[in-house]
Amino acid sequence: MHEKYMRMAIEEAKKGEGFTSPNPLVGAVIVKDDRVIGIGYHKKYGENHAEINAFLNAKENGEDVEGASIYVTLEPCSHYGKTPPCADAIIKNKLKKVIIGCVDSNPKVAGNGIKKLKDAGIEVIVNVLEEECRKLNEVFFYYIANKRPFVVMKYAMTMDGKIATVSGKSKWITSEKTREHSHRFRNKYSAIMVGINTVIEDNPMLNCRLPNTRNPIRIILDSSLKISLDSNICKTSKEIKTFIATVSGDEKKIKELEGLGVEIIKTESDNGRVNLKELMKILGEEKNIDSVYVEGGASLHASLLKEKLVNKALVYIAPKIFGGFEAKSPIGGEGIDEPDNAIRLVGNSITKIEDDLFLEYYLKY
């Protein structure tokens, strides 16, 4: 019974994807006499938390929550932030039982919410569907622990491992439905990252065109500031927050870009390239970016993997064969000498999307 209602809370929490950062995704379900009387989720950073929205929903339904149980995917907060503590609201509304998916590792909470509820005489059950609830907020938990963005590398390839033909053409490898599926991750993660070659070759917007979504922050790696001031990125930088990471000292170009609304991030040179470790530190600690979705090419992927910065890989495979020694594969760089030195992928999930396959893995260095 507990798992049934917790699954409902998890699905409710997912509705907040893309809008709660740096807060976690949270869903809540209020149950009384085996009936769901209220349901809610954290809709947007700075607004009501899931528990409060569930109480409001119960009130709209004309229900009395006293003596009810609440299922919540994450430990209720016990501190004042943008909103008052949810633990206090639960106590005030005289609920008898709180069922929690997982404990909040944020030092401001970290068991304090549970203690406050127990001290008020409320029964607390913890770690119901814990694994699913932790995965729901893998970005939040990683960012709290490391103060560095959770990095997701995405690419689409043919069955023979090619991301383009010998002539460099890549539109399209996967189906339209698959491309729409991948597009939603632009909404899910806080920022999107590409290299300058992608900008020069494709002149992309790097926005999210799906309904009821938001645009990710755009991060362009451009060591020498080759980007054209007439590019779609530059022309829309006042509407969509844009960072360009560089090692260039071209002050004239920097001023021109800043005039268009671009924010420049300068790092130390790493053999003439942007220092990726330093960049991630800046993004996490100074820019408060908790996740980065990488839609780069083979070189950027290889550089991130070399620095052990990728946390998760999302791979789409189409039932096609391109062939050709010169056709690009998803990962460039120098490669490895021995199979035993390969980067390991763990925690696999495989989904079929029409004729394509979607693979989801975590990287183990």
* Sequence-ordered alpha helix ranges (H) in the chain: 2-13, 50-60, 86-92, 112-119, 130-136, 138-146, 176-188, 196-202, 232-235, 251-259, 276-285, 298-306
Query: What is the distance between the alpha carbons of residues 142 and 137, in angstroms, rounded to a whole number?
Result: 9
Residues 92 and 222 reside in one and the same domain: no
Q: What is the per-residue pLDDT for 36?
A: 96
> Is 198 assigned to a binding site?
yes
Q: What is the per-residue pLDDT for 107?
A: 67
Q: Are 295 and 193 in contact (CB under 8 A)?
A: yes
Q: What is the per-residue pLDDT for 111?
A: 77
- For 323-365, the three-class secondary structure string (H helix, E strand, C coil) is CCCCCCCCCCCCCCCCHHHCCEEEEEEEEEECCEEEEEEEEEC
Residues 20 and 96 reside in one and the same domain: yes
Tokens of 256: 């021109």
Residues 133 and 152 reside in one and the same domain: no
Residues 161 and 116 reside in one and the same domain: no
> Is 299 assigned to a binding site?
yes
Range of the domain at 67: 2-138
Q: Domain end: 116, 138, 160, which one?
A: 138
**pTM across the whole model:** 0.93
Residues 322 and 174 reside in one and the same domain: yes
Q: What is the per-residue pLDDT for 104?
A: 86
The alpha carbon of 58 is separated from its chain's Cα centroid by a whole number of angstroms, namely: 30
> Tell me, what amino acid is at 292?
V
Residues 101 and 161 reside in one and the same domain: no
Residues 123 and 184 reside in one and the same domain: no
One of 3, 11, 17, 51 is an active-site residue; which one? 51
> Is 223 assigned to a binding site?
yes
Domain count for the chain, please give it.
2
Residues 79 and 180 reside in one and the same domain: no
Residues 170 and 284 reside in one and the same domain: yes
> Is 172 assigned to a binding site?
yes
> Is 156 assigned to a binding site?
yes
Q: What is the per-residue pLDDT for 191?
A: 98
Render each residue's pLDDT in the chain as its tens digit; 365 residues.
899 999 999 999 999 999 999 899 999 999 999 999 999 999 999 899 999 999 999 999 999 999 999 999 999 988 666 677 899 999 999 999 999 999 988 767 677 889 899 999 999 999 999 999 999 999 999 999 999 999 999 999 999 999 999 999 998 999 999 999 999 999 999 999 999 999 999 999 999 988 889 999 999 999 999 999 999 999 999 999 999 999 998 999 999 999 999 999 999 999 999 999 999 999 999 999 999 999 999 999 999 999 999 999 999 999 999 999 999 999 999 999 999 999 999 988 999 999 999 999 999 99
> Is 69 assigned to a binding site?
no
> Tell me, what amino acid is at 163?
I
> Is 160 assigned to a binding site?
no
Query: What is the distance between the alpha carbons of residues 313 and 304, in angstroms, rounded to a whole number?
Result: 12
Q: Give the strands of the sheet with 123-126, arranged side by side.
A: 35-41, 27-32, 69-74, 97-102, 123-126
Q: Domain end: 114, 138, 162, which one?
A: 138
Active site residue 11: no
Residues 131 and 163 reside in one and the same domain: no
Q: Domain end: 103, 138, 173, which one?
A: 138
Residues 246 and 296 reside in one and the same domain: yes
Query: Residue 10's domain is classified under what CATH number?
Result: 3.40.140.10
Q: Which residues of 260-289 are buried (b: 16+ CB within 10 A; e: fewer)?
A: eebebbbbeebeebbbbeebbebbbeebeb
> Is 344 assigned to a binding site?
no
> Is 300 assigned to a binding site?
yes
Residues 43 and 72 reside in one and the same domain: yes
